Each structure stands twice: as structure tokens, then as C-alpha cells.
Structure 1
Amino acid sequence: MSPSVPITMINTLVILVVLLTTSCSSVPLPSTFKKCNRKQADFNQCLTTAVQDAIHQLDKPHPEVNLPSFEPFVYPVGTVRLGAGPSVVHFRQIAKNVRVHKLTEFSSLNASMDFNTNIFRMNIDYPILKFEYDYEIDGKILVMPIRGKGLAHIHPKNLSMEITFTLEEKNKHYKVVNSTITYTKMGGLMINHENLFDGNKELGDKVNAALNENWKSIFDDLKAGYEKINAEIFGNVFDKFLDKVSASELFGDP
């Protein structure tokens, strides 16, 4: 029989494998992505341009850095559940297969990174976004019953939002430890649910008209839920990107 391998040698091999795996997990930014160095005087201006350019390029996925396509952006969770609101929304809704169109078509975007607090912030304005999903709904809007199952179309107009990611640097990579989205302005909301009341067009048109007439109250009722769900989803997307790209590759060495 061959002599047994010493435990210390096994431990050393395990550590080497872990170190090699960690070092190999970092990849460079795509060559078409702009780089910014934290030491440059116009860093946040550079970062703003870099983020704008990168999002414009997300009309297709970049799997090498764990970035999905944003045209459309498909929610990575199969089912989203929205509860009733405190005012006019007295229904619960299930949304499946959520797709968002026009995320690359913002009208303005500003980005900044505070290296003292490790907070990355973006302010984005969208002239229009288009959400499509398979819905199931049952309850009331105001005093009107609403019930159905089919395809929903939701189009926010003139939407402004602030996104913040609180980061933590560990093993030469950033991690997202908290993410928030705040909708700071909404100019309008077009709402259409197909196949309400088992396809009863008269009832369906009446309820969709009521939804559109009361869009602001509906949005205010559901705003906190939308913010929480989207902050979690986009926080996870950004975190997966940070898993691939090191802090120094993103921002240069401290």
C-alpha cells in the first residue's frame, strides 16, 4: 500500500484550490465598457457616462459578466405577488413571466459613488416603460369588482427614480448588502388587463377605464410594494455582476 497523504498536505491543497478558484472568478470588463479610476478628479462625471454607455449596450446579454439583456428585461423570479393597498386597491394580484421593455431608453441618468460610505447611487428618468406579464386578479378597485386571468400591460410615463446600492468590499470584490429604489415622480400610468371577467368586453372595458382614471391613487397605494420588489431584483442583478468584476477593475486601486 502507498503511504497515506499527510493531513497538512491535504489542507494545503484545499487552500490552493480555493485561492485559484477565487482568483479565476474575476474577469475584465467588456472591452466596449468605459472604465473610470476613483483617483481622477472628474470620477463621477466619468462614472455617469460609463453607466449610460453600459446600459445602452444591454440590448443584448453579456454573460461573461453576468449581465442579462435589458431589452426586454425578464424578471428572474417566476412569480411576483402584490398585496392589497391601504386605500383604493382592494385586490391581490399574481404576476408571472414579467417582461420590461425600454429600460435602455432613459432620457437622463446620473451616477455617483461615495467611497467613504460605499454607496453607489443612480438617478434615472424614463419617458416610458412597458411592463407585460401574465396576471391573476380577484378583488375590488374602489367599490368595483375586478376579476380575471390573462395578459396585463402597464406603461408608466415620465417616471423618475433613485436607486441606491450599499456595498461592502470583501476578497477584492464588492457585494451588495442593501438596495433601495424610490420612485420620485410619475407622470402617468396606462393600464390594460386582457380577459377580465372571462372575456366580458363590456365589463372589462369599464374596469380598465376605472383603473386608468384612478391611476395615481392606484400607484400611490402600490408604490412601496413595487419599490421593494424591484430593489431586490435589481440588487441581485448588480450583485451577480460584482461577483465577476473586481473592485479594482471597476474603479481602479484605492
Structure 2
Amino acid sequence: MKLVLIVAVFVFVHSAFTRKFPANFSRCRLSDPDLDNCLKTAIEKALHLIGSKGISSLNLPPIDPLKVSKLEIAQGTSAVKLVQKYTDLSITGVSSSKVENAHFDSTKKIFTFKTLTPNYNQEMDYDVNGKILVVPVYGSDNVTSINTIAFEEETRNNKSYYKIKSYKLSLEPSLCHVRYDGLFEGNEKLGATLLKTINDNWRDMFDDIKDGLEAAYAEVFKSVASGFFNTVPIQDIFLS
């Protein structure tokens, strides 16, 4: 009877753990000579799987839309000399990203991957004071992003986990376009003129706030990724 009980408990625990990963969730082997290509495929597939529902067993929230309660972008150096504060952001397009390459240096514990997002959009409430030239990214086409994540290991309950030490993000859109509602107390003519100026000169304005924008969004994506790495031990991230 005791033996049957032990076997039953083992089967339950094992099946409960394996259910953490969806059946079609791809994982790679560190020993795979083509590890980079495996990671590229696995990440892209994971983004699609997470989609609008998330994967609760892996502590991954929905990413399409990705909800962000608040975001603050540091001021630029020339045209955009003000701090931009946004609340209740809804970001769409992330799950449709194509992963162009990926690499994991297991010795240095540095993971990099490059994505291309065809249509990246966000809607939010905004509170911007200062100069009138302001540039939040409302919509972007073909956004290339390079994500560089540095890990350190920590031990909990006799298991090792990756803890994100730093998350760096590099963004490069092919086109940005913005839209503000309620500018100049509803004066549509003045609002349209301002928006045309911003959208006609989006490149200079984007470059001006690029550093602050990248730092702000790196924190958003770091928070999402941390949920996964804080939940899944290192030994279970990769296949043995």
C-alpha cells in the first residue's frame, strides 16, 4: 500500500510539473551544436503561444495586448526637453514578432536576441508638460529590437534560478507615427498642424528620446521576463 502511494505521489508531482510547459512549447539543449537556431525558433514560437492569454503556469502574462500601468520616458537633449509620463498603456503587436537571431553564452550568462515587429502600436493616457514638441511612439512599423539580458544565478530551495542582472534594449523603427487627442483644448486645426510637424520629423524626434525610450521599455520587458525566470529552475529551462 505504501509503495502504491509513493508511486502515485511521484506520478502526480511529475505530471504536475510537466504541465507547466504547454505541449507545443519548444525547449532547447545546451549541448545542441545548432543551439542558436533552436533558440531563435523557440523564442518566436513562445511569443506566439503567450499571445493574448499568457501562460499562467510559467508566470507569463498576456503580451498582446501587453498592459503597463505606467511608463516614464526621460527627457531628450534638444527638441524634446521634457519628461513624458503615461498611464494605462495597452501595447499590441509583440506576439507577431519575428525572431531574426538569438545567442546564449552560458559561460558569461548573457542572452541576446533580435526581433522584427511588423506593427507595434500603443494606446495610453498621457501627461506631458513643458515644450509643445513631444514624441510618444503611438504606432511604429517594422520595429527592430535587440535584447541583451545578463543573468546571475541564485539558489532557492536547493534549485538554481536565473536572476536578471540587466536588460538592455536597442530599438530601430522604419517609421513612427503619433496621434494625440485633446490638444490645444480641442482646437483641431492647431492639433492637426502639430501632429503633421511631429510625424514629418519623426526620425529626429525619435533619435532625441531614443535612450530614454529604450531604458523605459527595457524595464517593461525585464519585468515580463523575470516572471518566467523566477518561476522555472535553470535545469528545467533547457532539455537534458
- Please classify the TM superposition score into its range, dividing by the shorter chain length: 0.7 to 0.9
Counterpart in 2 of 1:191? 178
TM-score, length-scaled by structure 1: 0.80
Letter aligned with residue 235 of structure 2: S
Give, in angstroms, the shift of residue 200 of structure 1: 1.1
Runs ≥4 in structure 1, deviation > 6 angstroms? 24-27
Alignment check: 8 A CA contact 2:162 2:230 kept? yes
Helix, strand or coil: the match of 2:82? Answer: strand
Are 2:37 and 1:45 aligned? yes
2:110 to 107, 112, 119: 119
Give, in angstroms, the shift of residue 31 of structure 1.
Answer: 2.4
Cα gap change, 1:232 to 1:92, in 2 (>3 Å): closer
Name the CA distance, whole Å, in 1 between partners of 2:239 and 2:150: 19
CA distance in 2, matches of 1:27, 1:222: 43
Q: 1:140 to 1:119 in 2, by over 3 A?
A: same
Query: CA 1:27/1:242 → structure 2, altered by over 3 Å: closer, same or farther?
Result: farther
1:138 matched to 2:122? The reply is: no
Partner Cα distance (1:251, 1:153) in 2: 36
Q: TM-score, normalised by structure 2?
A: 0.84
Classify 1:139/1:99 alpha carbon distance in 2 versus 1 (closer, same or farther; 3 Å). Answer: same
| Structure 2 spans left out of the alignment, 5+ residues | 1-15
Total equivalences in the alignment: 219
Change (3 A) 1:120 1:153: closer
Q: Is the 8 A contact 2:100 2:116 kept in 1?
A: yes
Q: Are the structure 2 counterparts of residues 53 and 109 from structure 1 closer, same or farther at C-alpha, using a change threshold of 3 Å? A: same
State the distance in 2 between where 1:198 and 1:100 align.
Answer: 26
Residue identity opposite 1:49 in structure 2: T
- Is this contact kept in 1: 2:167–2:222, CA < 8 A? yes
Residue 181 of structure 1 corresponds to 169
The question of whether the paired residues in 1 share the 8 Å contact of 2:47 and 2:97 is answered with: no
Secondary structure of the corresponding residue to residue 162 of structure 1? strand
Report the Cα distance in structure 1 between the residues aligned to 2:196 and 2:203, rounded to whole angstroms: 13
Q: CA deviation at 1:141?
A: 4.2
Q: Are 1:83 and 1:92, in contact at CA under 8 Å, matched by a contact in 2? A: yes
Does residue 82 of structure 2 align to residue 64 of structure 1? no
Q: Which residue of 1 aligns with 2:13?
A: none
State the Cα distance separating 1:83 from its structure 2 match.
3.5
Quick one: distance in 2 between partners of 1:84 and 1:220? Answer: 12
Amino acid at match of 1:229: A
Partners of 1:34 and 1:83 lie apart in 2 by 37
Q: How far does residue 123 in structure 1 lie from its aligned partner after superposition?
A: 0.4
- TM-fit CA distance, 1:26: 10
Percent of aligned pairs with the same residue?
Answer: 27
SS in structure 1 at match of 2:75: coil
Shift of 1:27: 7.7
Structure 2: which amino acid aligns with 1:169? E
Using the TM superposition, give the Cα deviation of residue 90 of structure 1 relative to its aligned residue in structure 2, in angstroms: 3.1
Instruction: Please give the secondary structure, in 1, of the residue aligned with 2:129.
Output: strand
**Match among 31, 36, 56 for residue 28 of structure 2:** 36
CA drift of 1:188 comes to 1.0
CA contact (8 A) 1:27 1:245 kept: no
What is the Cα deviation at residue 194 of structure 1?
A: 0.7
Deviation at residue 139 of structure 1 after TM alignment: 2.5
1:157 maps to 2:141: yes
Structure 1: runs of 5 or more not aligned: 1-23, 147-151
CA contact (8 A) 2:91 2:121 kept: yes
Q: Distance in 1 between matches of 2:83 and 2:224?
A: 27
The answer to whether structure 1 residue 202 and structure 2 residue 189 are counterparts is yes
Greater radius of gyration (CA): 1
Please say if 1:85 is aligned against 2:73: no
